[in-house]
Each structure stands twice: as structure tokens, then as C-alpha cells.
Amino acid sequence: ALAGRHGATVAVIAGAELERDFPLVHAVGAASTRQPRLIDLSWGPEDAPRVTLVGKGVAFDTGGLDIKPSAGMLLMKKDMGGAAAALAAADMAMGAGLRLRLRLLIPAVENAISGEAFRPGDVIRSRAGLTVEIGNTDAEGRLILADALALADAEAPDLLIDFATLTGAARTALGPDLPAYFTEDDALAAAFEAAGRTAIDPVWRLPLHAPYASLLASKVADLNNVSGGPFAGAITAALFLRRFAPNTKRHVHVDLYGWNPSTKSGRPEGGEVQSARLVYALLKERYPA
């Protein structure tokens, strides 16, 4: 419906093609009776600046074989909040006719449990060629994002933004209202925060502290999908993702909650799209119609 409304083209990759070309996405979704997919939407003139939005689309997250406790699973219908934010930002950008070549990538999976589930200790070769040791199946969001980011990075877009309900560590640091974001580009960070103020859609920058990359070391693969200790979980997740987009200089990773735990003025309790208004304000400023 979104593609048809704006005259965009869309491809849906699934089955054997997904298993071959996006092995991390396939592995995370393999246990579900609902087939995993990668949704790839493109819009805008080919000669315009390339902007790619990537959204984590975990429709439900049991945690996989590293299963969540029941209390931790109750809200996991919101684990597609990153995909919702990316879709909303894309919808606004296309509706405004901004001067850009937009690409929207959504790896869509259910992290379920069955005999087909991926396992702790598995080593999986990603689309980028990097091998990943599975330290925890409940750190699945970064896995599906990694393959999507590798696809995006092949074009080295002018701007790459990914959205994900990724870590409890970001929520511990900043609470439910304030998404964390990460980027290596200070000028882009300033523009990102200015757009947040304009849109009344606040975010807070956390550091991509490079030495913490050592926490993702693996003895059997290029990297582990989780750190070996309790520290800096949001940062190590962001550093993990950065490994899969080395050619893209302007990359922002947004770690959001996607849920309003209590009713506020104009904001009912429940699912909440965070950072979409910010990103639209940023795109409108950088790529005006």
C-alpha cells in the first residue's frame, strides 16, 4: 500500500534466495511458521542523493532458545518499532516529494522456538562475509540489521539511518522517552539533534567508543553478537552494526523503545513511533523538494 501510494518499487526476498543472500535474517526467522523476509523499497530519481533507511522488523521476539522470562516477553509485539519508525519517516519523505533517492530496507522476522531455531554457539557467515558467533539468540535484532546494512552499504549512500528497539542498556541509561543515537560524524550529530528540537522529537547521543569493540571478540568467528560482560551493551551493539557498513561515512544508528508506558498529553499508552519526525525534519532540511 505504501509503495502504491507513492509510486515506489518494492521487492520482497524470501525462501532460498533469502537463505543464500541474507543468512543472518534467514537464521533468526527460521524457527517460525511465518517465513522471514527482506522488504526492499526504492523511490525517487536515480540521480538524486541516496538515502537509505533500515528498520528492525521483529514481529515478535520470544528470545529464541535463550528464551525470555514471561515478564520480558509481554511487550515483544513492539519489537518491530524500528521498522515502524523507518516506514513513517519514508512515508513522510515520499509524500513531501523530497529530492532524494530513497531506499527502505526492512528485515522482517519472528524470533520463535522450534527444531529449526538457530542456536547459541552457532557460527554464521553474514552477507558481508564476516562470520558471527551466536553468543545469545535474544540479541537477534543486530543480526538481521547486519545483513540489511551490508546491502545498503554496497551503494555507499549519502546518508544511512537505522532504527531499532535494540538494547535494554539504552533504556537503562535514558529511559523510555529518549532514544539513544550513535554516529561518528560530529556535523551530522549536530544536525540530527537540531532536527530533533525542531520536530520536538528528542534524542541523546552516546559514544561509539572504539576500544569496547574488543568486548565482541570471538575465538571461532570474526565477532560475537554479544559482549562477554555486563557493560556498555548499547555501545557494543552499535559497534557491532558499524562493522557491516564500513563504506558509508554518514551513518546514524537509533536505539529506541517504541512504547509509551503511560498516557501523557497527546500520547496514549502503547506503541509509539520515535525519531520518525526527527528524521523527516532532517531530510527536509538536507534534501528539499
Q: Where are the domains of the chain?
A: 2-286
Q: What is the average pLDDT value for the chain, to the nearest integer?
A: 98
**Is pLDDT of 228 > 90?**
no
Q: Is the dihedral of CA 242, 245, 251, 257 positive or negative?
A: negative
Give the pLDDT band of residue 196 (cuts 50, 70, 90): very high
- Burial (CB count <10 Å: 0-12, 13-18, 19+), residue 251: buried
Q: How high is the pLDDT of residue 235?
A: 99
Question: Rounded to the nearest 5 degrees, what angle is found at the Cα of 7, between the Cα atoms of 160 and 12?
Answer: 65
19: left (phi over 0), alpha (psi -120 to 50) or beta: alpha
Q: Is the dihedral of CA 159, 165, 167, 171 positive or negative?
A: positive
The Cα 275–Cα 202 span in angstroms is: 8
**Is pLDDT of 102 > 90?**
yes
- Burial (CB count <10 Å: 0-12, 13-18, 19+), residue 208: middle
**Is pLDDT of 266 > 90?**
no
Q: Which percentage of the chain shows pLDDT scores above 70?
A: 100
Catalytic residue IDs: 68, 142
Phi, psi of 145 (to 5 degrees): -65, -35
- Strands ordered across the beta sheet of 131-133: 123-125, 131-133, 223-224
**Is pLDDT of 67 > 90?**
yes
Per-residue pLDDT, averaged over 42-60, amounts to 99
Per-residue pLDDT, averaged over 9-35, amounts to 99
109-124: burial string, b at 16+ Cβ within 10 Å, e else: bbbbeeeebbeeebeb
Establish how many alpha carbons lie within 13 A of residue 87's alpha carbon, considering only the half-sphere containing its beta carbon: 17
What architecture (CATH level 2) is domain 2-286? 3-Layer(aba) Sandwich (3.40)
64: left (phi over 0), alpha (psi -120 to 50) or beta: left
Q: Global pTM?
A: 0.98
